[in-house]
Each structure stands twice: as C-alpha cells, then as structure tokens.
Amino acid sequence: MHYDAVENNHGLKHDPFKALIAPRPIGWIATVSRDGICNLAPYSYFNAVSDRPHYVMFSSKNIKDSVRNIQETGEFTCSMSTWDTRDAMNVTSAPVPPEVDEFPLSSLTAIASKFVKPPRVKESPAAFECRYWKTIELPDVAPGSDQGHFMVIGQVVGIYIDDAYVSNGLVDTGSMRPLARLGYMDYAVVTPETMLTINRPEMTEAGDIADGRPEVWDGAFR
C-alpha cells in the first residue's frame, strides 16, 4: 500500500503512523504545579535532540498539565520507564484532574531531585533533571490556542543513575529493561538478549569500507 499521509486515506482500522515510528522511548515526565501538586505522565513522542549540551524533547497533543506546569515553573524530570514499572506507568497515563497527584495514585515514590524542584521516580533506574528552554507550536496550532501539538525542549542539568547498573565504567542499559512504545496499545522491552553491538565501519586507504564486526565494541566512538 502507498497512501496520501496528509489526507490520511490509509483505509485501515487505525492510523498506522505510530506503528511505523517504533520503537519509541517513553518520556516519563514529572512536574510540579505552581500550587505544589506533582504531576507524572508518560509521553512516547520523546527523545534526545543534542548531547553537548544535553537536550531532550517531548511532544504533547494539546496543552496538558505537564506542559502547563513546565511553562509556568521552568523545570521537569524524566524518569526511565521499565518492565518492572510498566503497570504504574500505565496508571499515570490516565486522564485525571490537575489536582490529582499521580505518584500515590500509581503507588510510586516521589524522591527529591538534586538540581530541580520536581521529583523523580524512585523505582526508576535512571532519570534526567531538566530546565525548560522552549515550547515549539507545530503548524496546526491556532494563535493563542491550547489545542494542537506542542514540542517542549529542556536542557538536562542533572542525571541520576542507579549504581547497580554501572559496570566497568559503562551503563548496563539492557539490565534496566527499559520500555518502548510501539503502535496501537503495544509496547516492547529492551533486554540483554535483544541487544547487539556493531562497530561503525571505517574507510580503508584503498577506498573500501572496513567490516564493522566482530560484534564486540572496540571502545572507540566514531
């Protein structure tokens, strides 16, 4: 099949777009309102956009509590959602009123951050502490409206990693078992068994591309 994505005339039961942009990391965003109420919500339109300095982004359909709190207070955290926290993560996706704190609702523990006011999820093996930089309103947003799509960008000013997942100077991501979002109501999980290593190839003096294998990292970034 091949269809017009603007008209979205795919003819399927559901829009396949999200099933094709997969897997997507989950940004488990924690904020605090001006009234001091915590909010925790997962966003699958999330990713890193820069590494020096560190910047992350997430995108929200409409101005929700997370976006509003960030714009009003200038801070947020992003905790890693994992296999062990999958049920709690799903609970925090429920559309609840702004005065409801999702931490006790999901039986999660809010633990103090080091560099920002919003807490991180104690049960998560890693978290980013972020300062708000900018909201980008995508072209479907009418001027002055809170309806549409909004991309929030923040600079990472602090990083927490559970020491249990650091070995030989490297983070053991697979053992954290991070969740990823697929399409529809589907998720995936990263495990040591599903990970692989491929060294980036280099060009030889003869103009050929050298083989990137064997599949053991040689310790060099390219």
* CATH number attached to the domain at 17-194: 2.30.110.10
Looking at residue 178, its pLDDT comes to 98
To the question of pTM greater than 0.85 for the whole model, the response is yes
Q: Which amino acid is at 25?
A: P
Looking at residue 126, its pLDDT comes to 98
Looking at residue 222, its pLDDT comes to 64
Looking at residue 202, its pLDDT comes to 76
Cis peptide preceding 53, ω within 30 of 0: yes
Looking at residue 141, its pLDDT comes to 85
DSSP H or E stretch at residue 39: strand 38-43
Residues 115, 156: Cα–Cα separation, whole Å:
10
Residue 117 near residue 77, CB atoms below 8 Å: no
Where in the chain are the domains?
A: 17-194
User: CA distances (Å), 176 to each of 56, 81, 130, 197, in order?
Assistant: 20, 9, 21, 17
Q: Which parts of the chain register pLDDT below 50?
A: none
